[in-house]
Chains A and B, each alone.
Chain A
Amino acid sequence: MRLSYPANVKIILVPCTGKVDVMHLLQAIQRGADGVYCVGCLEGTCHYNQGNLRCRERVERVREILQEIGLEPDRVRMYNLSSGEAPTFVAYAREMTELIRRLGPNPLKHSKPSIRLEEAA
């Protein structure tokens, strides 16, 4: 179909959206990404039964956390489609891009986290 989608969307492949963890989404925002969204299979069609449902719950948790710390929850979202729906994929990429443009840049991108991992000796 050779459809094009906004170039600002960077795709990270995971075997299933069930692999996506709260920390993956939080770290993306923490390190300055303007928004992150997960695109999972349609609900009820997960090859691993619950992967996309678990992802949705994690996305919801991250949205709560963003609200708590004072960022817009809509910077993190969940979408579902089947692998045959390229036009829907493009529509979601555009929708997310427009949404993030309206919210503006992530204010965290101007500073860096200072977190040190203290290994137990």
Chain B
Amino acid sequence: MIVAKRKPFEEILQMIAGHRKVLIAGCGTCVAVCLAGGEKEVAVLAAEIDMARRLKNQPIELGQTTLERQCDREYLAQLDDRAASYEAIVSLACGVGIQFLAERFPTIPVYPGVDTCGLAVNQDVGWYEERCRSCGRCVLDRTGGICPVTLCAKGLYNGPCGGTNRGFCEIDPEQPCAWYAIYERLKGQGRLERIRAITPVQEWRDTVPRTLLQPGYRKPEKAKS
């Protein structure tokens, strides 16, 4: 899932300093699961802002809502009749949701309440580890299901480098070496010959805003609103 981290309170307070009526909009999907921007985090942020502003003698009117998803128009549409009554919106969705919300209501400033941190696995409640950089060209078939782009400090497609040290990386003695792990995994599966295949370099210059159209689908003549 996409994981995010709540921005420091002072930063959020600064963003909305000039506003007197603000909507806090959470997202009920990824950021709710990683405890950054769901219904509960919306309630906590609203309470914090309310108290901080009253203590400064600058009371603020707040609205709080949590949409099922902020990356889908049908859920953003639920705010169509209400968004205009707010001076600004603080979104606790990931960067995708924040932008889609801002695109839907272009006349209203939309501020990020979280920093989006990547695509991660759930190791335990409140503990997430990144596994994918969504590079757009998956090599997990030849790396034993371990992503070198994400887990190797250099993002090497053909590793390891000279900095590998008894299973760990030169950047940090506690950081496992992705390519050591790949070697061990492939060896355990009897597929070690795979590690010899050279993977051509990624064409990072092609990293432009990507559009994905699944097979069998096409863009409508005019984007639905």
Contact = CB atoms under 8 A, between A and B. Distances in A.
Interface string A16-55: 0000001100110110000000000000000000000000
B82 A69 contact: no
B65 A118 contact: yes
B55 to A, nearest CB: 5
B65 A119 contact: yes
A27 B44 CA distance: 9
A103 B107 CA distance: 44
Contact of B51 (A23, A71, A116, A119): A71
B64 A30 contact: no
Contact of B65 (A26, A111, A120): A120
Interface of A: 22-23, 26-27, 29-30, 65, 68-71, 107-108, 111, 113-121
Given A68-B10, A118-B65, 19 more contacts: A22-B44, A26-B47, A26-B51, A30-B47, A30-B51, A68-B52, A69-B51, A108-B51, A108-B54, A108-B55, A111-B54, A111-B59, A113-B62, A116-B61, A117-B64, A117-B65, A118-B63, A118-B82, A121-B78
* The 7 residue pairs across chains A and B that have the minimum distance between CB atoms: A118-B65, A69-B52, A115-B62, A26-B47, A113-B50, A114-B61, A121-B78
